[in-house]
Structure 1
Amino acid sequence: MGTPDRLIEATRELLWERGYVGTSPKAIQQQAGAGQGSMYHHFAGKPDLALAAIRRTAAQLRETTGRLFDGSGTAYERISAYLLRERDVLRGCPVGRLTMDPDVVASEELRAPVDETIGWLRGRLAEIVQEGLDQGEFSPSLVPEEVAATIVATVQGGYVLARASGSTDAFDAGARGLLSLLAPRGTSV
């Protein structure tokens, strides 16, 4: 891995752990094993590097999630795969956590890839719910955009509850509860 990639990966990890303010250039350089000159040779400064890291995090989330959404199975099965997938619940969502970072939210440029990714996620989920409606899988009273927002809110809220309690139980309960509400007739969760 080259120096720019090491710097981006170090920044991604530090942003997830510490947030923007807690991610100092010195910490990035130490974690990446890169000198100050290397950092500023490849990036204009911390905001530029943070933007590259946030974009990479967003792209990886889209790739991972997109594979689940594009997989085989019914709409319910693909939503279930997303809700029940392996994740580091107690660390939280690497993209969702950025929404709680005042410095990221205050910067239009840093916030943009976060907003775009959450919008993409909601849009893809709405498409899958619509597929389920078209196939007669879900109750016709469901509104795809509202269900998609509920799924994203359940996941992000589940992270918050899990982190607050120090246990994944609250996240798991939220996912199972939502799936029981979406379950096609005659299906058990």
Structure 2
Amino acid sequence: MNTSDRLIESTRALLWERGYVGTSPKAIQQRAGAGQGSMYHHFTGKPDLALAAIRRTAEEMRAKAEEQFAGPGTALERVSAYLLRERDVLKGCPIGGLAQDPDVVADPALRRPVEETFDWLRGRLAEVLAEGRERGELSASLDPAGTASAVVAVLQGGYVLARAAGSAEPYDRAVKGVLGLLAAQATL
């Protein structure tokens, strides 16, 4: 891994662990094994590096989600695969956590990839659900966009509940609950 990639990966990890304010240039450099000169050779400063890290996290999140959404099976099976995939629930969502970070939300450039990722996720889920409705797998009365927004809200809320409880159990219950609601819309 080159220095630029090490800096980005270190920033990604620190943003997830500590948030924007808690991610100091010194901590990034120490974790990356890079000096200050190297950091400023590749990036204009902490905001530029944080933006690169957030973009990479967003790209990775989208790619992982797309594996399930584009996979085989019915719409419900693909959404279930997405919701049930392995996650580090107690660490929270690396993008959802940024949406709760006041410094990220206050900066339009840092907030943009977070917002775009959630827009993409809701849109992609809506596409999968609409496909299931069109193929007769899901009820014709299902609202794909509204349901996709609800699924994302349950997922993000599940992370919050799990972190508050110090246990993955509330997350697991939330996912099981939303899957039960989706299964009630299945026609096959």
TM-score scaled to structure 2, two decimals?
A: 0.97
Tell me the residue number matched to 2:134.
Answer: 134
Which consecutive residues of structure 1, in runs of 5 or more, have no partner in the other structure? none
| 2:88 match | 88
Matched, 1:151 2:141: no
Equivalent residue letter for 2:148: A
For residues 154 and 186 of structure 2, what CA distance do their matches in structure 1 show?
22
Counterpart CA distance in 1 for 2:92 and 2:68 is 19
Q: How does 1:45-64 map to 2 (within 5 A)?
A: 45-64=45-64
SS of 1:138 mapped into structure 2: coil
| Structure 1 residues 158-178: Cα deviation after superposition (integer angstroms, max 9, x where no partner) | 000000001111111111111
User: Deviation of residue 104 (structure 1)?
Assistant: 0.4
CA distance, structure 1, for counterparts of residue 71 and residue 150 of structure 2: 21
Q: What residue number does 1:108 align with?
A: 108
Q: Which runs of 5+ in 2 are unaligned?
A: none
Separation (CA, whole Å) in 2 of partners of 1:139 and 1:92:
32
Identify the residue that residue 43 of structure 1 maps to in structure 2: 43
Q: CA deviation at 1:186?
A: 7.6
The aligned residue for residue 72 of structure 1 is: 72
Give, in angstroms, the shift of residue 119 of structure 1. 0.3
Aligned equivalents of 1:25, 1:176: Cα separation in 2: 41
Q: Which residue of 2 aligns with 1:119?
A: 119
- The answer to whether residue 34 in structure 2 is matched with residue 34 in structure 1 is yes
Letter of the 2:33 counterpart = G
- One-letter amino acid of the counterpart of residue 40, structure 1: Y
Aligned residue in 1 for 2:181:
181
- In the alignment, the residues of structure 1 paired with residue 70 and residue 54 of structure 2 have an alpha-carbon distance, to the nearest angstrom, of 24
Q: Deviations over 1:11-33 (max 9, x none)?
A: 00000000000000000000000
TM alignment of 1:3-18, pairs within 5 A = 3-18=3-18
Q: 2 CA distance for matches of 1:145 and 1:137?
A: 16
Matched residues, number? 187
Moved over 6 A (4+): none
Q: Does 1:97 align with 2:97?
A: yes
> Taking every aligned residue pair, what percent have the same amino acid on both sides?
66
